[in-house]
Structure 1
């Protein structure tokens, strides 16, 4: 069983967050250290550790999360464009061991990142 994380505590409402979207499968909330004017995290309610932890059983969840990213971007008015980022593992920049998608926008984003 995955260990408790900051995100499992947010999903359980043990820690407050600025929630912008919720459904049966996931929760989206504003990042407390935003890297762009709009920076929202989309997390599954199921405590999946990382993209490497996904299995075929998670196919519907992973696809659903991508559609939630699209919904969040539209609700946030990111019609000029946005970026969806998934960090995986320590070297990939993952800081919380709970799968999460970053929805970033509100400015022109540069490439390459980091």
Structure 2
């Protein structure tokens, strides 16, 4: 699918353009924050860049400046002691809308009755495997 076609059919781009209504919380020149209409918990909202990029690595650096400050502002305003900030990239990672977006998800209770329920199945990797992964990634960052 071409980028022009995906841009034209993108749900979040339609929200940014005002073609689909939303419960707008914050807006700057580069981001829009609004309530998620399929919430995991009460107060679940999204912060999206107005620039269309499918994955975080596709988003130009100059389009990222307002994202985390907006999430932090929402978190402070909501006043929740416990919450998750989630950002998924690709279908296997549970991304359902092909437009970069960050979830603010309140976690009102310690049990799994509301909010994000996350398992963290850590792998028992030998230290030499961790070191090898580190060296590969570090070399690419330099």
TM over 0.5: yes
Bigger shift: 17-26 or 61-70? 61-70
Give unmatched runs, 5+ long, in structure 1.
Answer: none
- Structure with the higher fraction of residues in strand conformation: 1
Larger relative contact order (CA 8 Å, sep ≥ 6): 1
**1:29/1:42 contact within 8 Å kept:** yes
Give unmatched runs, 5+ long, in structure 2.
Answer: 110-114, 121-142
Query: Which protein has the larger Cα radius of gyration, Structure 1 or Structure 2?
Result: 2
1:59 pairs with 2:64: no
- Structure with the higher fraction of residues in helix conformation: 2
TM-score (norm 2): 0.69
How many residues align? The count is: 109
Aligned position for 1:9: 14
Aligned position for 2:71: 69
**1:38/1:106 contact within 8 Å kept:** no
Structure 1: 4+ residue segments shifted above 6 A:
none
Q: CA RMSD in A?
A: 1.8
Aligned position for 1:100: 101
